[in-house]
Amino acid sequence: MRTPLVAGNWKMHKTAEEARLLVADMLGGLQAVSGVEKVLCPPFTALLPVAAMLAGTDIGLGAQNMHWEAQGAFTGEISPAMVAEFARYVILGHSERRAYFGETDEIVNRKVHAALQHNLTPIVCVGETLEEREADLTAKVIRRQVSGALEGFTAEQVSGMVLAYEPIWAIGTGKAATAEEANRVVAEVIRGTLTERFGEAAAQAVRVLYGGSVKPHNAAEFFAQPDIDGALVGGASLKADAFVAIAAAAKQA
Ligand code: PGA
């Protein structure tokens, strides 16, 4: 049995002060949802205040990115150790990182290795663009992203990771994939690739989230799918009521 996981990706939203207000708004509601792992991923500058508010709760904290080197002359970057001081999770390879900041599968792979070295659970994002989808390249692209990100790991290491299938055309657009279609990609392409490379047990142990316009009104459909284990939520994670409702939907599923 895979424990459902609902993670909020705040992206570049919320100052530290605004983050405190948002967490205060959702804390009680989130804590009332049992049996679901809940994770908040605020921007770096809000990690410390949010960590203080989550201490002693069952709500996890994650970063949205990090560098792969332990330290060094990398002006403007944040190291894995800096993230691990406050957080247990890190989102890696988000499509916005790939599209706007030039992250390749190789860079994502280095970051995933760095995450494990620092006891961080990576939430590794994969997904196809609209053009790739229309050219019938979804399976090929996702296979390449999954294999690339997980190069050099053992089945045991992979088993503890979290993957997120986020079709790029569904992110922030209000156009979610249908739940059946998302489940098909997760089951056949993502778990299929994992089975080929790491074996059936690892492929079944990995939690795979769906992301892309998950809202309170559609969350339950995704969570009802057998191969989808939760959600990576962007826009709706910035609204306390909406995020709590999505977490509650994961519990019911
Ligand atoms: P969205 O973002 O929920 O706003 O579509 C999801 C994501 O990018 O992780």
pLDDT for 183-235, tens place per residue? 999 999 999 999 999 999 999 999 999 999 999 999 999 999 999 999 999 99
Annotation says 221 is catalytic = no
Q: How far is the CA of 72 from the centre of ligand 1 (A)?
A: 32
Q: Which two tokens stand for residue 112?
A: 């995933």
Cβ burial 174-197 (10 Å sphere, 16+ → b, else e)? eebbebeebbebbbebbbbbbeeb
Q: What is the CA radius of gyration of the chain?
A: 17
Annotation says 166 is catalytic = yes
DSSP assignment, residue 4?
A: P
pLDDT for 53-72, tens place per residue? 999 999 999 999 999 999 99
Give the span between the Cα atoms of 143 and 174, in whole angstroms: 26
Residue in 214, 217, 239, 243 to alter for ligand 1 test, most ligand atoms within 8 A of Cβ: 214
Q: Which two tokens stand for residue 206?
A: 């990995």
Q: What is the CATH number of domain 5-252?
A: 3.20.20.70
SS (H, E, C) 159-172: HCCEEEECCHHHCC
Domain ranges, ordered by start, for the chain: 5-252
Residues having CB within 6 Å of any atom of ligand 1: 9, 166, 171-172, 211-214, 232-236
Taking the complete model, does pTM exceed 0.85, yes or no? yes
